[in-house]
Each structure stands twice: as structure tokens, then as C-alpha cells.
Amino acid sequence: MEVIKKGTTIQSLQIGMGIIESIAKQGRPLKFSDIQELTQITKSNLYKYLNTFTQLGILYRNKDTGEFVLGSKLIEYGMAAVDQENVIDRISPFLYEINEKSSSTVLFSSWTHNGPMIVKEFNNNRGFNIGAHIGTLLPIRSATGKVFMAFMDGQIIHDWKADEFKQVPQELVSQLEDECRDVIEKGISFAREPLVSSVSSVSFPVFNYKKKLLGAVTVAGFSEFIPLNENNELSHYLIRISKEISGSFGYRSQVK
């Protein structure tokens, strides 16, 4: 078998991965000019890289805005790398049921080193803009972000939490800390219009048999249809099904 020499690299591949890393770190859709400014690669060469990545599904280019985001293929690779693919398969029927029950967009988010990312979406109304899509990194003030803040290992989220807190007023930091304690106690979180005006969200955690957080299920829709607290019929339903979903992964909640 041929031995790969230490230090042998392909420069063009390194440059290409540098482009992907630059886009991923921004955590938002980027125009060609934004990427060019970040990478300082000549326009002609950058066009070739972006065109290739788009054709491969590594990047996705919005036809209307021309902006680039991480593509579905890259997300598939990431999920496979952290052995989460079976989670998506098992949880999808539940997401479909919640979508039918709530008549709102349903998301499943998993942890990445840059924060919680949407990896699955059920949305019957494709024309409805919730301000997020597959590949979107969600902020700590979102219902999803609060779930990860509440239940993810503190060492893992330390840097993300610190960066997020720099972007919110100090009084909101205290409020988030209080909400975090409520999320831990009640197993459900709420956010009023965190990303888009008139769109709110409610989210709950999914655990496995080791009591490890696998991700968060989030329902997002028009604020008038999304509950603001646990004293709501939809909230009661979500709390019930959250136990069923985690139970399917072997999790057993402690009886109080």
C-alpha cells in the first residue's frame, strides 16, 4: 500500500476549504462581494470555486438574491460525522405529526461548533418566511438557542455563549439566565419574534438514553398562533410529545 507522505497537500483544496470555513463562520447568507472581501481571492478564481461547490451541493446559491449559504450535501457530511443521521430518520415522523398538528413550520436543530444549526425542516407553506432555513445558525435568544443554553454541556457551549452574550444588552443577559432556569424546570422554551417580525417560536429538547441532548425541536409561525408560555393547548401537546420523542431514544425522565 502506498504511504502518504507527511506534509503532502493540495493547495487548491486548502483554498477551497478556506472559502467554506469563511462562509460557515459568518453564520449568515453572503453575497459574492462579501466572500471576496473575506477571502481576498481574485474574482475569476473565486467564481470557479463557488460555481464548483454549488454544483456539488456543498454550497447553495439563492436564485433571487444571489447569496450563498452552506449546502445540503455539506450538512449531510456533518451529520454523518457526528453520527446523527439515524436521529433524523427516527425523528422525522414526529416532526411531520407536529407540523400537521400545529399548522406551522417545524425544525430540528443540532449542535455545531458555531452554535445550534437547523438540519431538518417541515414546512407546508413554502412562501412563509420564518427567517431561517436548513443550515441557519440560531441565536441564543431564540427558543432553540435557549434549549441549548439550558441543557447542553457548559464546557461545550462556553465560547458560543460568551460570544452571544456580547451581542445582547446586559439586562437581556440576566433575563436569559432566568429563562434558562425555567426551561430546565418545564422542559420547553419560548421566544417572541427573535428573528423576523410577527414570527415567534416554541422549542423543546430531545435527549438520548444517556441523558445527552441530541437536539431541539422547534415550532415557528405567526405570533398569534405560537404560545408564549406552557399554559396553552399546543404547549401541553408539545410537552407530551417531547417525552415520547426522547423516550424513543431510550431516555427516561425522572419522576418528580
Please give the domain boundaries of the chain with CATH numbers for all domains. 11-70 (1.10.10.10), 76-248 (3.30.450.40)
Is 23 within 8 Å of 35 (Cβ atoms)? yes
When pLDDT is cut at 50, 70 and 90, the band that residue 167 belongs to is confident
For 29-47, give one letter per residue: b (16+ CB within 10 A) or e: bbeeebbbebbebeeeebe
In 3-state terms, what secondary structure has residue 232? coil
When pLDDT is cut at 50, 70 and 90, the band that residue 2 belongs to is very low
In 3-state terms, what secondary structure has residue 210? coil
Q: Which three cell numbers stand for residue 37?
A: 472581501
Output phi, psi for 79, to 5 deg.
Answer: -65, -40
Kindly report the length of the chain: 256
> Which whole-number Å values give the CA distances from 21 to 38, 59, 196, in the listed order?
11, 12, 26
Characterise 84 by phi-psi region: left (phi > 0), alpha (psi -120 to 50), beta (else).
alpha
Q: How far apart are CA 251 and CA 256, in angstroms?
A: 15
Q: How far apart are CA 101 and CA 55, in angstroms?
A: 36
Is 222 within 8 Å of 215 (Cβ atoms)? no
> Which whole-number Å values give the CA distances from 218 to 14, 147, 204, in the listed order?
36, 10, 7
- pLDDT recorded at residue 193: 77
pLDDT in tens, 184-202: 999 999 998 766 778 899 9
pLDDT in tens, 69-103: 888 787 777 666 555 557 888 899 999 999 999 98
Helix and strand tally (H, E) in the chain? 9, 7
Poorest-pLDDT segment among 16-30, 31-45, 47-61, 73-87: 73-87
